[in-house]
Chains A and B, each alone.
Chain A
Amino acid sequence: MANSKSAYSSAGKKQKLDTHIIVVWVDNETGVLARVVGLFSGRGYNIESLAVAEVDQKQNISRITIVTTGTPQVVDQIKLQLKKLVPVHKVADFKREDKNVIFKEMALFKFVANNNKLNKAFEACKNFDPVILDKTNKSNVIQITALRREIDSMSKNLKKFGLVSVSRTGAVAMTRGSEIFK
């Protein structure tokens, strides 16, 4: 009693965190992103990355892909809370380790260096479908698509080849095979 000076209980046991990719289909209307993001910030859930765009112009459906971390209980709550929002149609949830799901992020790298280094930089990117989008005699812009951690390590390793600027998207996800999420 002497130690408890609060009108609230102290936090319980810490649990293991998992990374999940949550895909949400929503009506593309004003404020819908604010509703989804506000739910995350208001309830203290994490957002590691976010990708959103309209995918069905006829029915005005946007697809939001959110990478988040949380205990299994929190991830369940995220899904259930999202489903309660009026403009939300369906919610899918994939574990990052899930082999049946493709996750991709895109990144743009700008290098400023001599030709030798620029060539080496392109060489280093070659596992990740590099595309040269712009080239001058002392710079280039390369687009790659890869997993989050691959882009993380690339952006660290490419510093030595003159990497000066990185721009990247959030992850997008799709299931493998002929199945679609209903």
Chain B
Amino acid sequence: MPKLYSGAEIVFKCLEDQNVSHIFGYPGGAVLPIYDELKNFNSVKHILVRHEQGAGHAAEGYARSTGKPGVLLVTSGPGATNAVTALTDAYMDSVPLVCITGQVPTHLIGTDAFQECDTTGITRPCTKHNWLVKDINDLAEVMHKAFEVATTGRPGPVLVDIPKDIQFQKTKYKNYKNKKKLNGKSHDNYSQKNIDELINLIRKAKKPIFYTGGGVINSGTKASELLRELVYATGFPITSTLQGLGCFPADDNQFLGMLGMHGTYEANNAMYSCDLMINVGARFDDRITGKIDEFSPKSKKVHIDIDPSSINKNVKVDLAIVGDIKSVLTSTLKTFKKSKNNFSKSNKHQISNWWEQIQKWRSKRSLDYIGSEETIKPQYAIERLYELTKDKDTYITTEVGQHQMWAAQHYKFNKPNRWMTSGGLGTMGYGLPAAVGVQIAHPKKLVIDIAGEASVLMTMQEMSTAVQYNLPIKIFILNNEYMGMVRQWQELLHDKNYSESYTAALPDFVKMAEAYGCVGIRAKTPEELDDKIIEMLNTDRPVIFDCLVDKQENCFPMIPSGKPHNQMLLGPKDQKEKKITGKGRTLV
């Protein structure tokens, strides 16, 4: 007679078979049987968060910095609804998550029982798929299927809802064999003909550009290597979306910086004027395209994406290549190398005028700002943070708002999986719990959450998690006392009516750090900034760094919504023709 396992045991058997080493969770009535089994499965370490949203974002940070799926375990009712924001965030940014929720016993479903909610109904639009397990004999299969759906094709969150009585019931467990077969929905669907067409377009292009996104990072580190190889071989300029930062070295001359609403002048103008746009794993988001009718009007557009529904969703393309970036780039490089040897040389000559034009745009230096000796400019703070951490293998998370854009503009990423930010959903409060998840996955690495004071207060309770597990995360708050991006829009679009965007009663972040049992550091002037940052880096404990920055600073350059790429607002420096080169820089 084979051994019988309870539903709760089967959950852990499945996690073991899926090589899950960490789960983020919060106990409650409907998941108690699962929590009861935790002690018997040493290979799975549970991280106790302080709020289920934190569990979700921590799992996201874990997933994005490792490429493995993040797992969270929460209870029914409020546990599940609290996780919804994180699930939606993961859905928008294609992060593989497996969320296990408890549910009231099957005989109570539909009776408005205590802590009951329609979890599968609520999460249906924000997961790739979800399951309510009503039969113990389905549990193992559903669990393994959940991992398969989350990690194949375009990755995303899934949810498995397990009623309490199912967690107690017993059945057999067959050991899982990792099948090589992929989810039927994720097969590469392109032909050599597509690749030949792409090579032909590359050959003919006079004003080409690579436009790369998070898909490159989701495809694995190999995809980033292949992308670099292709970009160097062609000599084409490359720009990246917010999510794609790191797949190409930011300090390389061929990199034009980030594009989009707060992208660089050269990247956006190159997107507008190009004759060939090669989109690699990006999705023509509205923050990227601006006014869709005037988006890159003269270009042939190529779109490489694993998700067929991303093709022609927002922008019609001339050549669609549906497939995993890694495999598409491998075929492209192979074909590219086979074509004439002198091709890449002659091609570089062909695009030399294009590079001259790009250099003209570059000379605008659109990321420059007016420095100050009295107050810390937020851009300066990030520049210094970058300079002082660039020799370490640093992982950066962010919250959402001005600080996020400044981080994307001024922190230079050279490797994939080092940049975790909430792009699609724009979830304030993402960065702190995400940093917890990243530090769990990389205990020895430097993990910094570049934060705003408003965002970080939304999930501040997770500092307690960081302290409990000795996670030396650094919360670098650019504190301007405003919801900065809201304030900026109000200044530019709503006649400076700063309605409710000022936080009148902020906590003292240094004392708050001490209350949590971590370290608080405050920097008030540009002069002391470097020393304070170094003090932070030398502290082997969690740190909340309260960096008091200029309250009026706006994030430029900027494309106002509904405008095409060639109508950018540049910073005050350009507007006033004041040519003071960032004085803050010389202060070191």
Nearest residue, chain B, Cβ from A41: B125
Question: Would you call B493 an interface residue if the criterion is a C-beta within 8 Å of the partner chain's C-beta atoms?
Answer: yes
Complex A-B, nearest 4 residue pairs according to Cβ-Cβ distance, in ascending order:
A80-B309, A9-B562, A86-B129, A42-B125
Nearest residue, chain B, Cβ from A73: B312
Nearest residue, chain A, Cβ from B494: A5
Q: A30-B132, A80-B309 are in contact. Are A4 and B560 (CB under 8 A)?
A: yes
Q: A35-B124, A38-B125, A42-B125 are in contact. Are A10 and B309 (CB under 8 A)?
A: no
Contact with A along B546-588 (1 / 0, CB 8 A): 0000000000000011110000000000000000000000000
Nearest residue, chain A, Cβ from B293: A12
Please pick, from B129, B290, B307, B562, the residue contacting A6 in the complex, using a CB distance under 8 A.
B562
Determine whether the beta carbon of A86 is less than 8 Å from that of B149.
yes
Nearest residue, chain B, Cβ from A29: B131
Determine whether the beta carbon of A9 is less than 8 Å from that of B308.
no
Q: A77-B313, A86-B128 are in contact. Are A8 and B293 (CB under 8 A)?
A: no
Determine whether the beta carbon of B562 is less than 8 Å from that of A84.
no
Q: Which residues of B contact A135 (CB under 8 A)?
A: none
Q: Which residues of A contact B312 (CB under 8 A)?
A: 73, 76-77
Q: Which residues of A contact B494 (CB under 8 A)?
A: 5
Q: How distant is A7 from chain B, measured CB to nearest CB, in Å?
A: 6
Interface residues of A in 25-40 (CB under 8 A from B): 30-31, 34-35, 38
Q: Which residues of A contact B563 (CB under 8 A)?
A: 4
What are 20 A-B residue pairs whose CB atoms fall within 8 Å in the complex? A1-B493, A1-B560, A4-B493, A6-B561, A6-B562, A7-B561, A9-B290, A10-B562, A12-B292, A30-B132, A31-B121, A31-B132, A35-B124, A73-B312, A77-B309, A77-B312, A80-B311, A84-B307, A85-B129, A86-B185
Q: How distant is B4 from chain A, measured CB to nearest CB, in Å?
A: 26
Q: Which residues of A contact B316 (CB under 8 A)?
A: 73
Please pick, from A5, A9, A12, A31, the residue contacting B493 in the complex, using a CB distance under 8 A.
A5
Question: Would you call B120 an interface residue if the criterion is a C-beta within 8 Å of the partner chain's C-beta atoms?
Answer: yes
Question: Would you call B489 an interface residue if the criterion is a C-beta within 8 Å of the partner chain's C-beta atoms?
Answer: yes
Interface residues of B in 265-313 (CB under 8 A from A): 286, 290-293, 307-309, 311-313
Q: A7-B489, A10-B562 are in contact. Are A80 and B308 (CB under 8 A)?
A: yes
Determine whether the beta carbon of A34 is less than 8 Å from that of B493.
no
Contact with A along B319-339 (1 / 0, CB 8 A): 000000000000000000000
Interface size class, chain B? 20 to 34
Residues of chain A at interface, number, CB under 8 A: 25
Determine whether the beta carbon of A8 is less than 8 Å from that of B120.
no
Determine whether the beta carbon of B562 is less than 8 Å from that of A4.
yes
Q: Which residues of B contact A84 (CB under 8 A)?
A: 128, 185, 307-309
Question: Would you call A83 an interface residue if the criterion is a C-beta within 8 Å of the partner chain's C-beta atoms?
Answer: yes
Q: How far is the CA of A181 from the CA of B308 in the complex (A)?
A: 21
Q: How far is the CA of A77 from the CA of B315 in the complex (A)?
A: 12
Q: How far is the CA of A84 from the CA of B152 in the complex (A)?
A: 12
Determine whether the beta carbon of B293 is less than 8 Å from that of A13.
yes
Q: Which residues of B contact A10 (CB under 8 A)?
A: 562
Question: Would you call A165 an interface residue if the criterion is a C-beta within 8 Å of the partner chain's C-beta atoms?
Answer: no
Determine whether the beta carbon of A83 is less than 8 Å from that of B561.
no
Please give 7 more A-B residue pairs, beta carbons under 8 A apart, in addition to A73-B316, A83-B185: A6-B561, A7-B493, A8-B561, A10-B562, A30-B132, A31-B132, A84-B128
Q: Which residues of A contact B124 (CB under 8 A)?
A: 31, 34-35, 38
Question: Would you call A81 an interface residue if the criterion is a C-beta within 8 Å of the partner chain's C-beta atoms?
Answer: yes
Determine whether the beta carbon of B309 is less than 8 Å from that of A34.
no
Determine whether the beta carbon of A31 is less than 8 Å from that of B120.
yes
Nearest residue, chain A, Cβ from B493: A5
Nearest residue, chain A, Cβ from B149: A86
Interface residues of A in 98-152 (CB under 8 A from B): none
Q: A73-B312, A84-B307 are in contact. Are A4 and B293 (CB under 8 A)?
A: no
Q: Which residues of A contact B561 (CB under 8 A)?
A: 4, 6-9
Please pick, from A8, A31, A35, A38, the residue contacting B286 in the complex, using a CB distance under 8 A.
A8
Q: Which residues of B contact A5 (CB under 8 A)?
A: 493-494
Determine whether the beta carbon of B489 is less than 8 Å from that of A9.
no
Nearest residue, chain A, Cβ from B132: A30
Q: How far is the CA of A132 from the CA of B100 in the complex (A)?
A: 55
Q: How far is the CA of A35 from the CA of B493 in the complex (A)?
A: 39
Q: How far is the CA of A31 from the CA of B131 in the complex (A)?
A: 9
Q: How distant is A117 from chain B, measured CB to nearest CB, in Å?
A: 48
Q: How far is the CA of A6 from the CA of B149 in the complex (A)?
A: 37
Q: Which residues of A contact B492 (CB under 8 A)?
A: 1
Q: Which residues of A contact B307 (CB under 8 A)?
A: 84
Q: How far is the CA of A71 from the CA of B120 in the complex (A)?
A: 31
Determine whether the beta carbon of A81 is less than 8 Å from that of B309.
yes
Interface residues of A in 18-60 (CB under 8 A from B): 30-31, 34-35, 38, 42
The residue in A9, A30, A34, A85 that gathers the most chain B C-beta atoms within 10 A of its C-beta is A9
Nearest residue, chain A, Cβ from B309: A80
Q: How far is the CA of A154 from the CA of B312 in the complex (A)?
A: 40
Nearest residue, chain B, Cβ from A81: B309
Contact with A along B371-389 (1 / 0, CB 8 A): 0000000000000000000
Q: How far is the CA of A13 from the CA of B292 in the complex (A)?
A: 10
Q: How far is the CA of A77 from the CA of B121 in the complex (A)?
A: 23
Q: Which residues of A contact B132 (CB under 8 A)?
A: 30-31
The residue in B286, B313, B492 that gathers the most chain A C-beta atoms within 10 A of its C-beta is B313
Q: Which residues of B contact A38 (CB under 8 A)?
A: 124-125
Q: How distant is A107 from chain B, measured CB to nearest CB, in Å?
A: 33
Nearest residue, chain B, Cβ from A74: B313
Q: How distant is A66 from chain B, measured CB to nearest CB, in Å?
A: 17
Nearest residue, chain B, Cβ from A72: B312
Q: How distant is A124 from chain B, measured CB to nearest CB, in Å?
A: 45
Contact with A along B142-162 (1 / 0, CB 8 A): 000000010000000000000
